[in-house]
Amino acid sequence: MDKHFVITISRNCGSGGSIIGDQVAKELGISYIDRQLLTMASEQSGISETLFAQADEKLKKSFLTKVTQNVYKGELLPPEDDEFTSNKNLFNYQAKVLKELAAEQSYVVIGRCSDFILKDMKHLLRVYVHAPHEECVRKCMSEYMRSEREMEKHIQKTDKVRAEYYFHYTGKKWNDPANYDLCLNSLTLGYDGCVEVICQTARRIMEK
């Protein structure tokens, strides 16, 4: 494949979306981007990576922020602006990095509203990975070695925060199938099955 393409993967907590994304990247021989994006955005902006990490896929605890929108339009604030280190500007720098990378190389990226940021890109595959709640709880219990009750709360909180973050910057519902090209149940298909479907679809998109 000699054209640049991007696969964005949104996922509910415990569904294995990140693992699947990493496997897809390896299968296709392209870059895998998750938290590395924070480092790249920090290096480009000069803003501390700690601030990027604190704002990563979550909003400040404000009811007003959670129920309002600040839909991404691409603008960047200069260092002399009082809002230079605001969550909005941190988000916009991450978006800038994703767009620049898309012009240079192919990659798989996890979350961070990447499906919305890159929506105008021709060779783009937007994927949503999900699994039944009970399966997500079981997977998280195994990974974190915590009780069922603790993992219930963890999953509920994580998915709620991701949904609020997505709505704030896109104006759309995070788990709405209309936002994606593929919606895959990782319990039904298994991780390997999800990887196979994503790779096959990506290759077809590249043929256009």
Tell me the pLDDT tens digit for each residue of 30-50: 999 999 999 999 999 999 999
In this prediction, residues 14-24 reach a mean pLDDT of: 97
At 58, list the tokens: 């979550």
Would you state the pLDDT for residue 69?
67
At 53, list the tokens: 């990490």
Would you state the pLDDT for residue 172?
95
Would you state the pLDDT for residue 3?
77
Would you state the pLDDT for residue 167?
93
Please give the CATH topology (third level) of the domain spanning 6-16+26-206. Rossmann fold (3.40.50)
Least confident of 55-59, 97-101, 159-163: 55-59
- Rounded distance, CA 114 to CA 48, Å? 21
Is 2's pLDDT higher than 90?
A: no
Is 184's pLDDT higher than 60?
A: yes
- Rounded distance, CA 161 to CA 13, Å? 11
Q: Exposed, middle or buried: residue 142 (CB in 10 Å: 0-12, 13-18, 19+)?
A: exposed
Give residue-wise pLDDT tens across range 124-144.
999 999 999 999 999 999 988
Would you state the pLDDT for residue 68?
62
- Rounded distance, CA 163 to CA 174, Å? 5
Assign 67 a pLDDT band (cuts: 50, 70, 90).
low
Assign 119 a pLDDT band (cuts: 50, 70, 90).
very high
Assign 1 a pLDDT band (cuts: 50, 70, 90).
very low
Is 63's pLDDT higher than 60?
A: no
Asked if 110 and 162 count as a contact pair (C-beta separation under 8 A), the reply is: no
Would you state the pLDDT for residue 138?
94
Is 24's pLDDT higher than 80?
A: yes
Sign of CA dihedral 2, 189, 175, 11: negative
Assign 159 a pLDDT band (cuts: 50, 70, 90).
very high
Would you state the pLDDT for residue 64?
46
At 177, list the tokens: 């199938």
Count how many Cα atoms sit within 13 Å of the Cα of residue 86 in the half-sphere of its side chain: 14
CB proximity list for 179: less than 8 A, separation 6 or greater: 10, 115, 116, 126, 128, 172, 173
